[in-house]
Structure 1
Amino acid sequence: MSERLIAIGDIHGCRLALERLIEAINPQPSDTVVTLGDYIDRGPDSRGVIDVLIELANHTQLVGILGNHEEMMLEVLNHGGAHHAWLRHGGVETLESYGFDGDLDFLPEPHKEFLDSLGDFYAHGEFFFTHAAYDPEATFEEQEIEMLRWYSLTNGIPSKHISGKTAVVGHTANRDGEILHAGHLICLDTYCYGGGWLTAMEMNTQKIWQADRQGRLNEQFA
């Protein structure tokens, strides 16, 4: 049980599912938990999700990846970007979770710090983690943000990365609630907000935990 490497797929405001997974996993200080992005939008409690993740970082080694939904929100809040795309893709639910009253400076300071801490990718052992996908021929430092954060696997699964590491991603929702396992790529977005599961996987043993948006564990993996 020591030094586990655990990835968690797209949460999308599903706080109850996240809390149930954390309870089942019981992360330890020696574990590394990698969250693959898209913490906000669409689900009922984006604010609560970030609160839970901030608290989780006090108990384990948390590595957060920036998702395209966080990118959309931060573009609006920090750079005056157009808000239409964000609101159309779940931003309304996020604003409601924060009790939005018209003031765009609605994020609590700890939430701003959490969002500022998020990275584009993370490599550990035989695995690397990013939100959406990757360019198989580019080093991690040379990756384009469009590939890391926006590319959909419905357009084709990239070939194995030049590093030889296995990719672990989210972003492309598997609406049947199943994990996409292509050998050199694992996609853990199993459509929690839409009636599927929030999925966590311990990468070295491939142990799986899943919970739905009501906080019920998938007994198949219990």
Structure 2
Amino acid sequence: MARYVIGDVHGCAKALRSMIQELAPTADDELIFLGDYIDRGPDSRDVIDQLIELQSACKVIPLRGNHEWMLQSVVSRGLDDAMWLRSGGKATVTSYGGSTGKIPKDHLAFFEALLPSYETDQEIFVHAMYDPSCDVESQSDELTYWTHLPASLPAPHHSGKRVFVGHTPQPTGEVLRHTHLVCMDTYCFGGGFLSAMDLESETVLQVDRHGHIRRVPVERFAMLMKGCVQWFRSRNS
């Protein structure tokens, strides 16, 4: 069984399609998505179509991001749509034919079924951020959906589990990897990549918004970390 964690898609349907084709998941495989499937990119509707179809091919664990939270709040809870539209929602409305009233029922059901977080014996998956001292299911919505990673990264989670997040775009296009924390948002819609990490080997598959693929081997990650350590030591010597 293969297990992958996948970062923010943000309407980049070509990237997602190429990634799924490259991963070629089978019924025993598990794909964990960290949220923000919609907004900003060109084809949010197609992204949701792909994810719904993917659920019949393998085990899909889709988390809710703040952009799905905004859409649901507008469509189902009567929230004013101004903030959502300013935050990339216009692209989503356009992809659905110009009106939220045209969102298909199976798409609305998909949004309603999204999870706030997911936890295994070794890992925690949540869209945005975590409180190191708090169980993730008990933390605030502000942390779960909205808070970006600070420059001084949070401490390891009290459980000892490695935490995987999205939400905070990495402008270099590289996955942010530490022993206790991984950020998978590699800024696909802004010229970076959609990233998937194999949770066993830590090999990263990346696809740009046009669907072009590249792989990042573990060795490259080791080199990047070595460079960061050397830089840090030089600054503090």
Per the TM superposition, whether the score is higher than 0.5 is yes
Q: Does structure 2 conserve the Cα–Cα contact (< 8 Å) formed by 1:154 and 1:172?
A: no
Counterpart residue type for residue 212 of structure 1 = D
- 1:152 corresponds to: 148
- 1:94 corresponds to: 92
Computed over aligned residues only, the root mean square deviation of the Cα atoms, in angstroms, reads: 1.2
- 1:83 corresponds to: 81
| Match status 1:45 vs 2:12 | no
Q: Does structure 2 conserve the Cα–Cα contact (< 8 Å) formed by 1:13 and 1:41?
A: yes
1:72 Cα deviation after fit: 0.9
More deviation, 207-216/132-141: 132-141
Alignment counterpart, residue 54 of structure 1, candidates 52, 55, 59:
52
Q: Does structure 2 conserve the Cα–Cα contact (< 8 Å) formed by 1:13 and 1:45?
A: yes
Q: Does structure 1 conserve the Cα–Cα contact (< 8 Å) formed by 2:203 and 2:216?
A: no
Gaps of 5+ in 2: 218-237
For the residues of structure 1 that align with 2:80 and 2:105, how far apart are their CA atoms?
23
Counterpart residue type for residue 177 of structure 1 = G
Correspondences of 1:14-33 after superposition (within 5 Å): 14-33=12-31
Counterpart residue type for residue 68 of structure 1 = N
- Which is helix-richer, 1 or 2? 2
Paired residue secondary structure (1:153): coil
Q: Does structure 2 conserve the Cα–Cα contact (< 8 Å) formed by 1:202 and 1:208?
A: yes
1:141 Cα deviation after fit: 2.6
Counterpart residue type for residue 42 of structure 2 = P
- 2:202 corresponds to: 206
Aligned residues: 217
CA 1:110–1:139: 2 relative to 1, 3 Å: same
- 2:220 corresponds to: none
1:140 Cα deviation after fit: 2.6
1:38 Cα deviation after fit: 0.2
Q: Percent sequence identity over matched residues?
A: 42
TM-score using structure 1 length = 0.94
